[in-house]
Structure 1
Amino acid sequence: MAYELSDSITINASPAAVFNLLSDITRTGEWSAQCYRAHWNDADDTHASYAPSHGIGSTFTGYNHTPEREWSTTSEVITYKPNTEFSWQVLSSGTIWGYRMEPAPNTNDATLLTEYTAFTPAGEAYFRSKFGPDATAQEAQRQHAATAGITQTLTRIKEILEG
């Protein structure tokens, strides 16, 4: 049940402003539907904020919750293109999450922001090993949560950047 999901929103902020916010993973809890806290794993202070050294290959831990459970994941930054794209891969499942930014058409200093995720065949294998016969149901539950969560997350990011 591999899948890819995405949604987009126009934000009245420059691609640079959007990128600077989203690449500071320590602020993720402000907008994410599930991740309430994140920190860089290579920082001396686990609450350290964004630093330019947090590019491709940097890892971070995200702490997530739903009404049913709490868990943490370690992810690695796989795309770091200032003002254009920021993405990461969850190391346990291979799931990819990210944001793409581009100047919004017919606007002055606005950004078309796209959030996306890809649940890969590696994720399917991980879920089979972790959940056994319940893997398909767990995957469907995650896909449903991601679909709703992406829209909710984009709305929150817009609210933060537009004030």
Structure 2
Amino acid sequence: MGDITESIAEIAPLFLSRSEIRISAAPAEVYSVISDLPRCGEWSPECQGGSWVSGEPSAVGSVFRGENLRSPEVVAWAPVVRGTWFTHAEVVAAEPGRTFRWAMRDSAGRTQDSVWAFDVAAAEDGGSVLVHHFRMGSATEGIRGITAEMDEDGKRRFFAEWGEKVAADLGATLERIKQVVEKG
């Protein structure tokens, strides 16, 4: 019998990252900003904004078309999309003042096991605590394409570097949201 080994790309979750920040504003005020995805260009390191293409804006089931921009320096050795590209995401949870989550769609319009999320709660001493999460349970269409020609060492390197990039992006996003919300 041959040796059966599981590829690093098949281990779930593939990515799991979380960051949090304290914001001097009520949860409802924070939620009104984070659930307004067309404004994401104000805080996201990659998403430049976009528009709602179906459904009631910010409601479960609505679809957002995001315009994204990635520089050549991001995991420069890997064959990731550079420059401008577009994504579609479906809102999968929307509880005003509490949680807002969206799942990335593949090229056929199916939701993938790739969810970005915000959770907001009242802080004990006033204001809010905002948590930003990212979870990719299994490789998305894009990740499969990026890693298709990589050997296991290359995949390990890519997943480690991409995980660091995502973690840094979560923190940068929260810092920028804090600035946007607190400036009013």
**TM-score class, shorter:** 0.7 to 0.9
Alignment of 1:83 with 2:85, yes or no, is no
Aligned-pair CA distance for 1:67: 1.0
The residue that corresponds to 1:46 in the other structure is none
With normalisation by structure 2, the TM-score equals: 0.75
| Contact 1:59–1:76 (8 Å) recurs in 2 | yes
Aligned-pair CA distance for 1:53: 4.9
The number of residue pairs the alignment matches comes to 152
* Counterpart AA for 2:69: H
**Aligned-partner Cα distance in 1 for 2:173–2:144:** 28
Report the secondary structure of 2:149's partner residue.
Answer: helix
**Aligned-partner Cα distance in 2 for 1:120–1:90:** 12
**Aligned-partner Cα distance in 1 for 2:71–2:15:** 24
The residue that corresponds to 2:65 in the other structure is 61
**Aligned-partner Cα distance in 1 for 2:57–2:144:** 35
Q: Give runs of aligned pairs for residues 17-96 of structure 1, distance below 5 A.
A: 17-42=29-54, 53-68=57-72, 69-70=82-83, 71-92=85-106, 93-96=112-115
RMSD, aligned α-carbons: 2.0
| Contact 1:127–1:139 (8 Å) recurs in 2 | no
Aligned-pair CA distance for 1:161: 1.0
For structure 1, list consecutive stretches of 5 or more residues without a partner in the other structure.
Answer: 44-51
Alignment of 1:145 with 2:165, yes or no, is yes
| Contact 1:97–1:116 (8 Å) recurs in 2 | yes
Report the secondary structure of 1:101's partner residue.
Answer: strand
Question: Is the radius of gyration larger for structure 1 or structure 2?
Answer: 2
With normalisation by structure 1, the TM-score equals: 0.84
Aligned-pair CA distance for 1:42: 2.2
Alignment of 1:13 with 2:13, yes or no, is no
**Partner deviation per Cα, 1:46-99 (whole Å, 9 max, x = no partner):** xxxxxx653111001111112121321100000100100000000125311010
| Contact 2:114–2:138 (8 Å) recurs in 1 | no
| Residue from 113, 117, 122 that aligns with 1:98 | 117
User: Hey, which bits of structure 1, 4+ residues long, moved more than 4 A?
Assistant: none
**Aligned-partner Cα distance in 2 for 1:25–1:12:** 21
Aligned-pair CA distance for 1:41: 0.6
